[in-house]
Amino acid sequence: MKICGMEKFSMVDFDGYISCTVFTPGCNFRCPFCHNAALVNREAQEIPESEVFDYLEKRKGLVDAVCITGGEPTLQPDLEDFIVRVRALGYKVKLDSNGTNPALLSRLIERGLLDYVAMDIKSDFDSYEEVIAVPSSALLPKIRESVALLKASPIDFEFRTTAIAEYHSEKNYAAIAEIVRGGKRFYIQKFKDGENNLTQGLLHELPKEEAEKFLAEVRKTVPVVGLRGY
């Protein structure tokens, strides 16, 4: 599997576990607020799989889990094989995804290869194309399928939205709340502008008081909600 980064020791990427986080290159979205531009644009230098597995072999008992993020990991054709090898070493696995590959997601769940999934909900479905900055007509049915798949699955998961003042307001809080209705957890993530973002200086964080209004709306449909980064 192509890997373009590894954070060897993280206490924030998988709640409750010490994790090693690996980053995969490439994405089928072009969200202007993305904070991993080098991965999305495939500009980051690859590291060999062997480096990751050498580290995991040495850290058994010290690291609990592997978090796979990107970019969009489900674009990697050998993601499944990579996860099988990780689990064979005794590690838990968390997958971060935009939900555009429900067939693979379903297979990974059915095989018992995932312990946790964090799926991004970019906005209400009427606004998705504006937020992801690519045509959405072929992607939205897959995203809807992944949402339904997770809600019906036995594994632990969360939905999450990076809150952007230009994209999120009281006009779509309720619509997003309906998308995630029946989910287990929902988190609003604070946006931070910076040099690693796909664009700089064009977007702004949703103020905390607005984020709390957003959260209050989602609390009507999801039992566990929270803010991250605020």
- Domains along the sequence of the chain with CATH: 6-228 (3.20.20.70)
Structure tokens at 60: 């058994």
pLDDT at position 197: 94
Name the band, by pLDDT with cuts 50, 70 and 90, for residue 128: very high
* pLDDT value at residue 93: 98
**Residues above pLDDT 70, as percent of the chain:** 100
Four-point Cα dihedral 129, 135, 141, 142, nearest 10: -100
Cα–chain center distance at 164 = 16
Please give the share of the chain, as a percent, with pLDDT higher than 90.
99
pTM of the model: 0.97
* Mean pLDDT for the stretch of residues 153-160: 97
pLDDT band (50, 70, 90) for residue 122: very high
Phi, psi of 166 (to 5 degrees): -75, -20
Average pLDDT, the chain: 97
Mean pLDDT, to the nearest integer, of 106-123? Answer: 98
Q: How many CB atoms lie within 10 A of CB 64?
A: 16
pLDDT digits (tens, 9 = 90+) for 162-197: 999 999 999 999 999 999 999 999 999 999 999 999
For the segment 85-111, the average pLDDT, to the nearest whole number, is: 98
Mean pLDDT of 110-114: 98
* Nearest of 81, 69, 84 to residue 27 by alpha carbon: 69
The pLDDT score that the predictor gives to residue 95 is 98
Q: What is the reported pLDDT for 130?
A: 97
**pLDDT at residue 36 in the model:** 93
In the prediction, which pLDDT does 34 show?
96
Task: Categorize the per-residue pLDDT at 72 as very low, low, confident or very high, splitting at 50, 70 and 90.
Answer: very high
Place 126 in a pLDDT band, splitting at 50, 70 and 90.
very high
